């Protein structure tokens, strides 16, 4: 049986442009429908800041599609601080496993990768807290 790895993702709504979380470079982020808080896309910021990952030409088409999808000129954004249990370290691989698990389980309309298959981390348990907008807060991989 695989060892359990518990991870909390503490989500915070980004409302102010000067919020220091925009400069975070090891975290998850999500685009939300501003009227309903539906999760439209989940991504990770690793080696780039949240601002770099969410804005720019590489996201322009996705942003346009999601704005059209929710009939809005803008999207809400939340930041997810990935906090592994005490004694475990944060890593690029862990960030990818958590992102993939959330995408696979929630199937956001803006995500293409990880919706049908992904790398599994047996024993992974993720708990979403804070400003997490979905009714489901717990997610796990096979043990």
- Looking at CATH, the fold of the domain delimited by 5-140 is given as GIY-YIG endonuclease (3.40.1440)
pLDDT tens string 41-50: 999 999 899 9
**Which of 31, 34, 15 has its CA nearest to residue 103?**
31
| Domain boundaries, given as residue ranges, for the chain | 5-140
Rounded to the nearest 5°, which phi and psi values hold at 40?
Answer: -100, -30
pTM of the full structure: 0.92
| Pair of tokens at residue 58 | 């590489």
pLDDT tens string 4-29: 999 999 999 999 999 999 999 999 99
CA distance to 35, 71, 80, per residue, from 30 (Å): 15, 18, 8
């Amino acid at each position: 049986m695989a060892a359990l790895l518990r991870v909390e993702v503490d989500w915070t709504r980004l409302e102010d442009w000067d919020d220091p979380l925009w400069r975070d470079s090891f975290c998850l982020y999500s685009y939300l429908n501003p009227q309903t808080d539906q999760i439209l896309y989940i991504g990770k910021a690793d080696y780039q800041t949240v601002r770099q990952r969410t804005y720019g030409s590489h996201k322009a088409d996705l942003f346009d599609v999601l704005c059209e999808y929710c009939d809005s000129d803008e999207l809400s954004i939340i930041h997810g601080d990935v906090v592994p249990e005490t004694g475990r370290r944060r890593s690029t691989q862990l960030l990818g496993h958590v992102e993939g698990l959330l995408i696979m389980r929630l199937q956001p309309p803006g995500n293409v990768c990880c919706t049908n298959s992904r790398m599994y981390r047996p024993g992974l348990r993720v708990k979403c807290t804070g400003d997490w907008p979905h009714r489901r807060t717990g997610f796990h991989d096979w043990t």
